[in-house]
């Protein structure tokens, strides 16, 4: 027998002494590290402190490598043998198992840090200086309010089509399908950016382009003074919940956005000073908004106290006091009242704006009451006035005007002085 054959025989005998689960469980450390072979190059390495890891020695392009396949008992004997077969398969394909594992680790680390939120920030940062003020405000809102709270912490590669669809539908229920569609478009652009940066391979936002039927654009025309009494009467006759009807009345009196009304909490109201202070987190432009309250608006709020009960929300959901009412309830109300095709909840804002301008109230107080951001950035830099005294008078005049249109007497209760 030649020396090479003798070595081969010893090699085969050594590897036929395979490990077993029983032997592994009773394995004890020694003063020095040692290893016990299983077969085909697999062995377990035991340190003096008792650490045990599966390893595999091999040569690639004339250089010796040791591949760690996991720690025992986290990786069982059967799993270690399976990983060995995978490593040998990689080696047989002409690749280095150690290098391939390093690549995999890098990709996994990148995936854990490449969250949707982080990539969305990169995308927004790359575009904001080249985009209009309106674009910046709209997309910042969609990311901050709609997308990041739901999927911002997830690796972007884990945001699937079904997951994104559920988020878009939720936005549609709360803010309407048109807003949800705009949010989908924003998400799609984030995914496109990720693909170009080799941080994603698919764009579920684009795949959802036909996720629902989007209504044709509606002209949000305001109501005329002659139409207002009929609308207010329709609200009164609507057979829905008092909370839904009162939410619409409050929007008409304060011209806040629909979600700003439906999500209102009691701690936002300063009844002593007749003010509603909406925090920036709930505002479209991420700025706090002060709404002067007329006597009529306060009466509506007072009527809601026994209805909302222990809820922190002024207009709680009908199913639970822990959540606010859905904005879709108001949309349904408008449909059933016969205004669905001609007048939207947002139209209440344009109604107030149009009439107040016709009544001679200045543009600035009206725009500030609507919480519109000055689009002329130079003018906005010098226009810090909140117009609160003017707006207090305007809001009470508006409520009295509505009462007069409907043939009602204004409330006799004296409004608290500013």
**Beta-bridge partner residues of 52:** 46
Cα dihedral sign for 342, 348, 353, 355?
A: positive
- Residue 79 tokens, joined: 């799993």
- For residue 209, give the DSSP letter: T
Cα dihedral sign for 290, 295, 297, 300?
A: positive
- Residue 123 tokens, joined: 């995308």
Q: Who contacts 337 (Cβ-Cβ below 8 Å, separation ≥6)?
A: 231, 234, 235, 238
φ/ψ of 275, rounded to 5, equals: -130, 145
Please name the residue that has the structure tokens 């990169």.
122
Q: Distance between CA 52 and CA 42 in Å, rounded?
A: 13
Question: Could you list the active site residues?
Answer: 257, 284, 346, 349, 372, 382
**Beta-bridge partner residues of 162:** none
Please, are residues 24 and 72 in contact by the beta-carbon 8 Å criterion?
yes
């Amino acid at each position: 027998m030649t020396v090479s054959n003798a070595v081969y025989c010893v090699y085969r005998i050594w590897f036929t002494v395979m490990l077993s689960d029983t032997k592994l469980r009773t394995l004890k450390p020694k003063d020095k590290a040692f290893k016990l072979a299983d077969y085909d190059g697999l062995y377990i390495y035991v340190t003096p402190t008792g650490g045990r890891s599966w390893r595999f020695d091999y040569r690639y392009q004339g250089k010796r490598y040791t591949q760690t396949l996991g720690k025992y008992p986290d990786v069982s004997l059967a799993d270690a043998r399976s990983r060995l077969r995978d490593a040998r398969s990689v080696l047989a394909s002409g690749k280095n198992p150690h290098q391939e594992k390093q690549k995999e680790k890098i990709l996994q680390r990148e995936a854990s840090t490449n969250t949707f939120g982080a990539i969305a920030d990169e995308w927004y940062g790359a575009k904001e200086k080249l985009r209009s003020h309106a674009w910046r405000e709209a997309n910042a809102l969609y990311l901050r309010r709609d997308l990041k709270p739901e999927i911002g912490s997830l690796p972007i590669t884990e945001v699937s089509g079904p997951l994104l669809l559920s988020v878009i539908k939720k936005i549609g229920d709360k803010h309407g399908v048109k807003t949800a569609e705009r949010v989908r478009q924003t998400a799609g652009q984030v995914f496109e950016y990720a693909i170009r940066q080799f941080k994603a391979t698919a764009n579920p936002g684009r795949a959802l382009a036909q996720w629902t039927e989007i209504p044709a654009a509606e002209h949000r025309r305001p109501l005329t003074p002659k139409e207002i009494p009929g609308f207010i009467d329709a609200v009164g006759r609507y057979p829905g919940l008092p909370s839904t009807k009162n939410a619409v009345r409050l929007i008409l009196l304060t011209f806040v956005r629909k979600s700003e009304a439906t999500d209102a909490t009691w701690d936002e109201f300063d009844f002593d000073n007749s003010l509603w202070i909406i925090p920036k987190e709930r505002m479209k432009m991420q700025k706090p908004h002060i709404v002067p309250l007329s006597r009529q608006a306060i009466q509506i709020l007072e009527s809601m106290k026994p209805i909302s009960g222990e809820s922190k929300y002024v207009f709680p959901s009908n199913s639970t006091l822990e959540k606010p009412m859905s904005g879709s309830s108001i949309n349904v109300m408008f449909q059933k009242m016969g205004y669905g095709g001609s007048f939207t909840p947002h139209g209440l804002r344009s109604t107030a704006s149009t009439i107040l301008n016709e009544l001679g109230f200045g543009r600035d107080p009206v725009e500030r009451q609507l919480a519109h951001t000055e689009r002329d950035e130079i003018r906005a830099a010098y226009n810090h006035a909140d117009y609160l005294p003017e707006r207090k008078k305007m809001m009470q005049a508006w409520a009295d005007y509505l009462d007069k249109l409907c043939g009602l007497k204004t409330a006799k209760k004296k409004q608290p002085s500013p």
